[in-house]
Chain A
Amino acid sequence: MAAKARVPDRTLGRLLLVSLLAAFSVATGAANANGVAVGVFAFQGERAAISDWSPVIEHLNRELPGHGFQLRNYDADGLREAIAAQKVDLVITNPGYYVTLETQFGLSRIATLQSPHAARSGQALGSVVLARAERAELVNVRDLAGRSIAAVAPEAFGGYLIAAREMLREGIDPESAVRETHFLGLPMTRIVDAVKNREVDAGIVRACLPEQMAREGLIRMEEFRVLSPRRVDGFDCALSSPLYPDWPIAVTRHFDPGLAKSVARVLLSMPEGQDRVSWSVPLDYQPVLDLYRDLRVGPYAYLRDITPEGLARRFWPWLLGLLAILAAWIVHTVRVEHLVHQRTRELNDSLAAREGAERRVRDNQERMEHLSRLSILGELSGRLAHEINQPLTSIDTYANSLLRRDAAGTLTPEALREACGEIASEAERASGVVRRIRHFARKRAAVREMVDVFRLVEDAQRMVAGMLVSCPEIVIAREAGLECRVLCDGLQIQQVLLNLIKNAIDAARGLSDDRQGIRVRLTRADNRLVVQVVDRGAGLDAAERERLFEPFFTTKPDGLGLGLPICRSIIEAHGGRLWAEANEDGVGMCFSFQLPCHESSA
């Protein structure tokens, strides 16, 4: 019930709105109040427009009395403003403006001007590009590149744009390829005059204008040549372009559709005739739109702005700044990247160098450890010798002094007691030193692990070779298939090997080259590994061989005589045996030790 009650309200509101709008349009559109305003683009000046179009207005007023059709002349901007302000109801304009206004204001064409010299298609609008007849080098619109031309205006349809499109089609940009374009405005005859007077190389005018001028006696057609001339069936004027539909008459959006229909009917019924305006059914203005799109003008002007060139033209300072920033950023990035790479490489290099150095230090330390194990024996025995020497000297001195005093008859019981006490304590001191030597030799005997003695021999070979400036050849001979692992203290066995090899090298020192080589043989006998270090050195006589393992016995000028005793005690601590013998051929010595094999694999 409530809804029903409201209906009249709504209807009333609508009526009110309509009458308000009507009142508004009456108030604003003065033209409408006095009749139908026909806005005309007067491209040749007001007087020309009136003379051109007054027959149409007269015809309309005659056929549709009571509507008061009136002619209003506008320039391009004026026409636009008039349409925007709804001051005009009908619009007559050139095709170029029409398509622009159609898009912008929703104009609808109701008829197209029927030119008396129109082609068969009804199209009558084209451009002709003229040059002076003697300019034989100007044949095609293409040839306008680098030339000066005259035209009506940048937005003039027949007087510029149509020809411009042809230049574009021929591959030259009408805006940049042409040296200079003089826009001379209207009347269009100025352009023909400019060409005639050699002010420009060529001129663009609406087709049929030259013929009209020739008819009026202003020019002679022979004075000119037409660039890119073409023939269109039924079209008799010189032409440099295709034809486009002629001027349309259109109604504005607010125009009464019923009246529009009547106007269209009246216009189409206008009689044709020489020099008389007539109208045909509205033609397709798509070619005009295409032209605008190609040239990116009019409704397609925005295309110009979103193309890279357009954007570049509009925003070049920002673009330049952006490019500069971009370039700076790229340079920065590349530089940072480069620096990072460089730093990374440097870091890696230094890391590698450090690792290398650390590895070398480690290697050297290991080598030094082994070396020092060798030299510790020497150093230690030097100190031990001194420590043993001291008590021995004391004992000797006391004993001899006692004898001396006894012989002289001056030996007192006190002196005897003193001397004997000292002798006893010094003897004890000496044996303490010996105990320490033994302790040192045994010290590491607690370590027991499975060791591949062959590897130890190889290591020893490498170490000796690394330690000595000119190391004689050390050949390792392993019994075929020998695989004997020994439960031992690898370091100590290594020490023994180093000692024996070093002794072997020393034994051949100063001898001829054929006595230098050393052989290390590894064999097995009764589940025991036998290692033999064979030299071809100076050798030892029987007496020397006998004392070889006595502490402090040495044949070397700087030897201390502790190496072999310690080696022997090491081997014996491992349940093995160390012995020396002369080689069978009598040249050099063979030092052998054997150790029990604790595990053997086939």
Chain B
Amino acid sequence: MNHQPEDCVVHVVDDDAALRRALRFLLDSVGWNVRLYASAEEFLDALAPPETPSCLLLDIRMPAMSGLELQQVLSERGIALPILFLTGHADVSMVVQAMKSGATDFIEKPFRDQVLLDAVAAAVRRSAETLADTGRREGVRRRLQTLSPREGEVARLVALGEPNKVIAAALSISEKTVHIHRQHVMEKMGISSAAELARLMLQADPSALD
């Protein structure tokens, strides 16, 4: 899955207008789709779950809501957006905290332009992967939802590696019926083996086979 830069959004949150514009000037030069926000609050107001690969360039120090607080809010809302912190000289302790809270990277000001661009590219890539994973998981989940309740029960036992005989006994149905359900499951999920079924089910729900 390859994304064109113009399809990818780089959100820039920084209270320094000049630096915001400078970052856009830089990111524009390599074609990223840049959106600027003067504060964390402004960013949150415009926030929607990412549909295209994107990342957040976030100034760690801001007058009202700080970068760390914004990171916290995003985490609480379950929004998976790679965050690149822009930090100053004396922000070491804040950076440590940010990284512990799952920040993707941090960039110390003043930065080399290539360092920033590389970091943004990496973050966007990661975002794209996350999106792809999510997409796949959604596809499997959707397909699993097409199974009838009985097919679902059979699928779970098949994924657990139970032979048809055992499944028939467990569900009090004939082996023949189990066989038919099994074929339907394989068709609907577009797979051919019990192992594949198990992988898909785990992908959709890690606790599916517990």
Set B22, B30, B112: member contacting A394, Cβ < 8 A: B22
Name which residue of chain A comes closest to B117, CB basis: A404
A389 touches B109 (CB 8 A): yes
CB proximity of B179 to chain A, nearest CB, Å: 63
User: A365 within 8 Å of B by Cβ?
Assistant: no
- B110 nearest in chain A by CB position: A393
Kindly provide the distance from the CB of B44 to the nearest chain A CB, expressed in whole angstroms: 23
> Does any Cβ of A come within 8 Å of B18's Cβ?
yes
A137 CB to nearest chain B CB (Å) = 112
Query: Could you tell me which residues of chain A, from 406 to 442, have a CB within 8 Å of some CB in chain B?
Result: 408, 410, 415, 418-419, 422, 425-426, 429
Q: Could you tell me if B29 and A393 are in contact, using CB atoms closer than 8 angstroms?
A: no
Bound-state Cα–Cα, A395 to B21, Å: 11
Is the pair B88, A410 in contact by a Cβ cutoff of 8 Å? no
B198 interface residue (CB < 8 Å to A) = no
Chain B residue total in the interface (Cβ 8 A): 21
Q: How far is the CB of A95 from chain B (nearest CB, A)?
A: 121
- In the complex, the answer to whether B18 meets A401 with C-beta atoms within 8 Å is no
Does B22 contact A397, Cβ atoms closer than 8 Å? yes
How far apart are B64's CB and chain A's nearest CB, in angstroms?
Answer: 17
Contacts of B89 in A (CB 8 A): 382, 385-386, 389
A408 proximity list for chain B (CB < 8 A)? 29
Q: Are B113 and A418 in contact (CB under 8 A)?
A: no
Check B26–A400 contact: CB distance below 8 A. yes
Q: Is the pair B25, A390 in contact by a Cβ cutoff of 8 Å?
A: no
Check B74 for interface membership: any CB of A closer than 8 A: no
* Contact A396:B110 (CB < 8 A) given known A385-B88, A386-B61, A389-B88: yes
- Report the Cα distance A426→B23, complex, angstroms: 14
Taking the complex as formed, is B170 at the interface, i.e. its CB lies under 8 A from any CB of chain A? no
| Chain A 69-90 interface 0/1 with B at a Cβ cutoff of 8 Å (1 = within) | 0000000000000000000000
C-alpha spacing A101/B20, complex, angstroms: 133
Instruction: List, in ascending order, chain B residues with CB within 8 A of A396's CB.
Output: 110-111, 113
B171 CB to nearest chain A CB (Å): 65
- Interface of A, secondary structure class, is helix
The smallest C-beta distance from A15 to any residue of chain B, in angstroms, reads 132
Partner of B26, one of A385, A386, A397: A397
Interface pair A415/B25, CB less than 8 Å apart: yes
Write out the residue numbers on chain B whose beta carbons fall within 8 Å of the beta carbon of A397: 19, 22-23, 25-26, 111, 113, 116
Interface string of A362-404 (1 = CB under 8 A from B): 0000000000000000000010011001111111111011001
User: Please, how many angstroms separate the alpha-carbon atoms of A380 and B19 in the complex?
Assistant: 22
CB nearest to A404 among chain B residues: B29
Of chain B, the residue at the smallest CB distance from A403 is B113
Q: A386-B61, A401-B25, A419-B25 in contact; A394/B88 too (CB < 8 A)?
A: no
Contacts of B88 in A (CB 8 A): 385-386, 389
In the complex, A405 has a CB within 8 A of chain B: yes
9 tightest Cβ-Cβ pairs between the two chains A and B: A400-B113, A397-B22, A394-B22, A393-B110, A401-B26, A393-B109, A394-B18, A386-B88, A392-B110
> Can you name 12 A-B pairs with beta carbons within 8 Å?
A393-B19, A393-B110, A393-B111, A396-B110, A397-B23, A397-B113, A398-B22, A401-B25, A401-B28, A404-B30, A408-B29, A426-B18
